[in-house]
Structure formats: structure tokens, C-alpha cells
Structure 1
Amino acid sequence: MNLPKPLACFYLAAAILGLPAMALAQEGHPVPKPSAEHKILAEDEGTWDATIKSFMAGPDAKPTVTKGTEVNTVLHGGLWVLSKFEGSFGDAKFEGRGQFGYDPAKKKYIGSWIDSMSPTLAVLEGSYDAKTKTMTYTGDGYDPNTKVKYTQKMVTTMKDDGTRVFTLYMKFDGAGDEIKFMEVDYTKRK
């Protein structure tokens, strides 16, 4: 069946924007509620001051240290955390945006990340270790300048004193071991 183009666009937009879930809710079906996994993500809500250590000259070189700010907001409904990061690397201004949630079908944390220094979207999957309060996301990427594929690992460990440490590791195809690229110490504002 061929639908007129405006009608086909409407159905596509409805599917993407979640109208099926809204229709179910109007018919009395329950709207998904945040799970324990979503509540772990919600602990990141708020404004965080960041001290960024970049190891762009290699893991054995002295890191470049800069400052930044991250603001995390829990989307209405409690299923997603939206992240906005602003800072700098050397003299270059840096902005990044992320969205993070939990996929109950996959039983994995999921997320995406874009920033002002990368032309590609990072799609991430992760897990949480409750004993160490550590969230680990991994995702594959591709550097369009060098044509090299890489795997990135993002590890965040929460501390009880309102701080957390984020570490970014990268492993490039054909380059051997995983390399520590960045470490960010965060302090949550009161």
C-alpha cells in the first residue's frame, strides 16, 4: 500500500516520537516507570565542577589540566539523563552532549555522546558494578581524519562524598594496548 507522502511522514514521526506509547497510556495501559537502574543514573543529576587531565601526549607525559562544568538533568518521567558539558582543552573551547538510560530488554545501560571535537556519534552500552559504584560504558568509533577504528571505554566511579572520577580509555585498531586518554575529577555543587 502506498501512502501519500505527508501521511507516511506522519506515521514515521509518530513511531519515532513515541506516539504508540502515548496511545497505550490513553487507553489505560501503564507508562514505563523508572527502575532501580534508572535511579542509579538519576544520582548524576545536578551541576558538577570538573578538573580535566588530558593525556594527549601519551600516558607517561605530564597531563594538560583544564576546568569544565557538567550539568545533568533527569528528563520528565525519570527514564533518561541529559548531560551538557562545557570546558576547554588547552586553548580550544569544548562542548559535549549526552543522553543516558537503561534498556530493560537488553539489560544494559545505554547512551550516546556528541561533542565539538568529533564529527561522529558515540553509541554506548554499559554495566554498573554496585559494589564499587562504577559505571562502565564501551563503544566503537572511527576517526575520519586518520581512517582508524577505535574502541573507547568510559569508566565512572562514584564516591560517597559527592565526587566522582571519570576515566576515558581508547584502543586503536592495530596499535596494541588500551591507552588512558583523559581523567576528570568531578565535585557536585551543593
Structure 2
Amino acid sequence: MKIMTCFACFCVVASALATAARAEDPPIPRPTAEHKILAAEEGTWDATIKSFEAGPESAPTVSKGVEVNTVMAGGLWVASSFKGDFGGMTFEGRGQYGYDPYKKKYVGTWVDSMSPSLIVLEGTYDAATKTLSYAGDGVCPIDNSKLGMRMVTVAKEDGRRVFTLYATGTPTGGKEAKMMEIEYTKRK
């Protein structure tokens, strides 16, 4: 009987401690205005891709692709899946994007079928121009050297958005060069 009484007391104390601990837990993070900017990219987007393999002054190679963006449960992250064609080769990429309230920066990662490395991104948003800019480092697919990347997305008034990729590294002579431009049109 004493064992049962001690066990019952233990259960009551453990329950009270658990309740007190839950009351002290920080609140569950909720999406902020910054997260809502990313959430606007949710949906399926048709892409017209212009690649500047011979340099930004050359005529681009044009191809098509599709991007599907999903806001994850909780609204804090956007998962992105891209499929397209670059120079006759199938291309796939995956990204995830969010806003880090501690860094006060947009953050993301990117992997794709043409690069052996994970690209970690940090960025900012300019509300006046509706421009989201990220920077990160990748690996050049030609010579495996470090390739600095700047990714700029501008939201247009008509619902389209334009993504431009700039790179800095060995293939660009150490100067920033426009490598790609993608115009996205959201499916209805």
C-alpha cells in the first residue's frame, strides 16, 4: 500500500512539474511579414530560362522549366522544386527558404543536378523594389573552383517574377558576370 501511495504522489508531482515546465516553454514561432513575402511564391510557375554560357554580352540559350513551391506546415519555410532543360541536359534543383529572426536575414539552401556541393544562402529584401537578394558560395562545374553566387529575384506588378544569377570566380575572370535569367509566370 505504501508503494502505491508513493507512486501516486510521484505521479502527481511529475504531472505538476510537467505542467509548470510547459507553461515556461517559449511560444511556438509564427510566420512574420518576412515569411509572408516568401509564401507569395507558393504555387506552380512556368519558367523561361536564358543562359549566358558564352558570357553576358552573348546571345542567350533559351529553354523552359517548371518550378513548384510549397509552403511547409507552420508557414516558416518554402520548399522549392525546379525541373528544366539546360543545353539539352535535364536539370533538377531543390531549395528551401525561410527567414531567420536571430540573424535578421533570409536564409536558404540549394542543391542541383549540376553541382556536387550544397549552396548555403543569406539574403535581404528591399520592399521598395520588391527585390529579394541572396548570396552564397558554390563550386564551378567546369574546374571545381569556388564560385561566388548572387541570386536576385524581382517581383513584377503583373504577378511575374524575374530571377537573375550572377557569378564571380575563375570562369568570370574574378569579376561578377550575369550567368542566367529566368522569367517566371504563375499558373492559374
TM-score, structure 2 normalization: 0.84
1:1-190 superposed matches below 5 A: 27-28=22-23, 29=25, 30-143=27-140, 146-172=143-169, 175-190=173-188
Per-residue deviation, 1:32: 0.4
Per-residue deviation, 1:145: 5.2
Over residues 84-124 of structure 1, what are the superposed CA-to-partner deviations in whole Å (9 max), with x where a residue is unaligned? 00010021000000000000000000000000111110000
- Count matched residues: 167
Q: Secondary structure at the match of 2:118?
A: strand
Over residues 120-166 of structure 1, what are the superposed CA-to-partner deviations in whole Å (9 max), with x where a residue is unaligned? 10000000000000000000123375142121000000012110000
| In structure 2, C-alpha distance between the alignment counterparts of 1:142 and 1:58, rounded to whole Å | 18
Q: Over alpha carbons, which structure has the higher Rg?
A: 2
Q: Secondary structure at the match of 1:162?
A: coil
RMSD: 1.9
Over residues 40-83 of structure 1, what are the superposed CA-to-partner deviations in whole Å (9 max), with x where a residue is unaligned? 10000001000000001111111000000000000000000000
Question: Among the aligned pairs, what percent are the same residue?
Answer: 63
TM-score, structure 1 normalization: 0.83
Gaps spanning 5+ residues in structure 2: where? Answer: 1-17
**CA, structure 1 residues 164+115, in 2 after alignment: closer, same or farther (shift >3 Å)?**
same
| In structure 1, C-alpha distance between the alignment counterparts of 2:66 and 2:43, rounded to whole Å | 11
| In structure 2, C-alpha distance between the alignment counterparts of 1:73 and 1:171, rounded to whole Å | 30
Question: What letter corresponds to residue 83 of structure 1 in structure 2?
Answer: S
| In structure 1, C-alpha distance between the alignment counterparts of 2:39 and 2:165, rounded to whole Å | 21
Q: Secondary structure at the match of 2:116?
A: strand
Q: Which runs of 4+ in 1 moved over 6 A?
A: none
| In structure 2, C-alpha distance between the alignment counterparts of 1:96 and 1:144, rounded to whole Å | 15
Give the equivalent residue in structure 1 for 2:10. Answer: none
**CA, structure 1 residues 187+137, in 2 after alignment: closer, same or farther (shift >3 Å)?**
same
| In structure 1, C-alpha distance between the alignment counterparts of 2:156 and 2:144, rounded to whole Å | 38
